[in-house]
Amino acid sequence: MQLSFPFVRFVPGWRRLVLIGAPVATGLALVVGVYAYTHSPTAATPVTVTDPTLEVPAEPGLLVDVIGAVENPGLYRLPRGDRVYDAVAAAGGFSQDADLARAPNLAARLTDGMQVKVAFAKTSSGTVAVRVNLNQATLAELLTVPGFTDALARACIDYRTNFGGFESTRELVDILGMGEADYLLARHYLTL
């Protein structure tokens, strides 16, 4: 028994058109599907921060903790494929008291959750220069910073208490009246 459809007409050579057209149409559909998949907006999961002093950069990418002798230690969100060099650059680069002889491998690839440690240079007395967090240090810790007097250390703590902390170490000069020469020395021992 043979089915016939009077309303369907085939063009001469239709089999050749189907043999060529079907793979082309399938390939085109595949390309459109891949494009739609890779360029569709993804829903980012919000990061909940329990400690208001800890700011976590937004998704996506690698979350890297840069500590030690860099200008702005902290958490940084960097693209996948970046290297340790990029993490140090995101943290403001090496500080003046960094020991470049003991620097981490700058060519190493970053991984999510990695901690990049940049060593401090030793002083002439053999001790390691330690940075004091201006927004968290106690009175005794502030007094260890060169150029800090008892009055200036107390003024820093009062300023933190009344105004929520420092946004820049330069506020020591601009707001609290620290001398420029003292500031140029002290800034190498401070962080936020």
Instruction: Give me the pLDDT at residue 45, please.
Output: 44
Domain that holds residue 23: 11-40
Higher pLDDT, 51 or 23: 23
Which tens digit of pLDDT belongs to each residue from 31-59? 888 887 776 655 444 445 555 555 655 56
Which tens digit of pLDDT belongs to each residue from 79-128? 888 999 999 999 988 887 788 778 889 999 999 989 998 888 765 555 55
Same-domain status, 114 and 156: no
- 3 part of a folded domain: no
- 28 part of a folded domain: yes
- 165 part of a folded domain: yes
Same-domain status, 96 and 67: yes
- Average pLDDT value for residue range 52-75: 77
Same-domain status, 114 and 136: no
Same-domain status, 136 and 187: yes
Low-confidence winner among 24-33, 84-93, 127-136 (lowest mean pLDDT): 127-136
Same-domain status, 113 and 139: no
% of the chain at pLDDT higher than 90: 6
Name the one residue in this structure whose structure tokens are 């919000």.
46
Same-domain status, 28 and 75: no
- 105 part of a folded domain: yes
- 95 part of a folded domain: yes
- The CATH number of residue 136's host domain is 1.10.150.320
Same-domain status, 114 and 139: no
Domain count within the chain? 3
Higher pLDDT, 42 or 163: 163
Higher pLDDT, 19 or 153: 153
- Average pLDDT value for residue range 61-84: 88
Same-domain status, 84 and 114: yes
pTM: 0.39
Same-domain status, 138 and 163: yes
Question: How would DSSP label each residue in the chain?
Answer: -----TT--PPTTHHHHHHHHHHHHHHHHHHHHHHHHHTSPPPPPPPP-SSTT--PPPSSSEEEEEEESBSS-EEEEE-TT-BHHHHHHHTTSB-TTB-GGG---TTSBP-TT-EEEEPBPB-TTSPBP--EETTT--HHHHHTSTT--HHHHHHHHHHHHHHS--S-TTHHHHTT---HHHHHHHGGGEE-
- 32 part of a folded domain: yes
Instruction: Give me the pLDDT at residue 10, please.
Output: 60
Same-domain status, 113 and 137: no
